């Protein structure tokens, strides 16, 4: 099974800051990586796929990059509504697996 | 606009079977050529993929749950369902259904339903 490890587990930033969250896979996942945003009491919301391709309606200040085993999610110009937990997910090989989440506080 | 909604009992006794249904609106399960998935999240813990079903009925399960899981499609009602047998307290979680598209990234998700396993 592919293990997904996110870092940091939590971080605090200010409005206007730029933050980066890292997701590392235990083996090459060939950019088969998605990111989700989850707010308390809500279902995860899809952000991007293919490591860097934004979903419909996702603001352009959110971006993703990476290849092989290492991937990043960057949020520039943080807004109060970005406060949430962010999850990565590999969909290269079953069983599909998620990272443990990164809690972002603004 | 594609929407999904989970339904089913919120309380299941240990050793019994958990059964949930996901109703899809805004698209047809059989014509969308998509995967449809179940994911769960124990309170305060990580997301866990349970399994997915292709529109044609082909299923893929997480090996950690495979002995106990069945996912099926009800095309007449545009629904897909999850059954999990022999449940224990470790199966207490929020259960989400989601559209997996062609590649099994999940968008959108249902709102989720909390299932508690307790006597």
Q: Return the pLDDT at B56.
A: 86
Residues in chain A with pLDDT values less than 50: none
B58-114 pLDDT, tens digit each: 999 999 999 999 999 998 999 999 999 999 999 999 999 999 998 999 999 999 999
SS3 of B47, please? Answer: coil
CA distance A66 to chain B (A): 17
- Which chain A residue lies closest to B61 (C-alpha atoms)? A95
CA distance A21 to chain B (A): 16
> Token pair for residue B19?
């059964």
| Average pLDDT over every residue of B42-62 | 94
For B43, other C-beta atoms within 10 Å of its C-beta total 9
Q: Out of A91, A100, A101, name the one closest to residue B104 (CB).
A: A91
Q: Return the pLDDT at B6.
A: 98
Q: Return the pLDDT at A78.
A: 97
| Average pLDDT over every residue of B42-71 | 95
Residue A54 CB partners (closer than 8 Å, separation 6+): A47, A48, A60, A62, A63, A64
B58 interface with A at CB cutoff 8 Å: no
Whole-number percent of chain B with pLDDT over 90: 87
Mean per-residue pLDDT over chain B, rounded: 95
Q: What single DSSP character describes residue B25?
A: E
Q: How many CB pairs under 8 A join A and B?
A: 52
Q: Return the pLDDT at B31.
A: 76
Residue A57 CB partners (closer than 8 Å, separation 6+): none
């Amino acid at each position: 099974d592919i293990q997904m490890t996110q870092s940091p587990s939590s971080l605090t930033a200010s409005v206007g800051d730029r933050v980066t969250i890292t997701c590392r896979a235990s083996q090459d996942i060939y950019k088969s990586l998605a990111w989700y945003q989850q707010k308390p009491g809500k279902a995860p919301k899809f952000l991007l796929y293919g490591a860097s391709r934004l979903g419909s309606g996702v603001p352009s200040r959110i971006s993703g990059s990476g290849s092989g085993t290492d991937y990043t999610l960057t949020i520039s110009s943080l807004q109060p509504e970005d406060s949430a937990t962010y999850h990565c997910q590999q969909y290269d090989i079953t069983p599909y697996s998620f990272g443990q989440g990164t809690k972002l506080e603004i | 606009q594609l929407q999904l909604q989970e339904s089913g009992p919120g309380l299941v006794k240990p050793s019994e079977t958990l059964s949930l249904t996901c109703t899809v609106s805004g698209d047809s399960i059989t014509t969308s050529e998509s995967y449809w998935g179940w994911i769960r999240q124990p309170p305060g813990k990580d997301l866990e993929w349970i399994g997915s079903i292709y529109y044609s009925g082909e299923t893929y399960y997480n090996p950690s749950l495979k002995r106990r899981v069945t996912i099926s499609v009800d095309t007449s009602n545009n629904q897909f369902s999850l059954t999990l047998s022999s449940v224990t307290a470790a199966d207490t979680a929020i259960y989400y259904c989601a559209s997996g598209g062609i590649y099994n990234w999940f968008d959108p998700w249902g709102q989720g339903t909390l299932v508690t396993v307790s006597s």
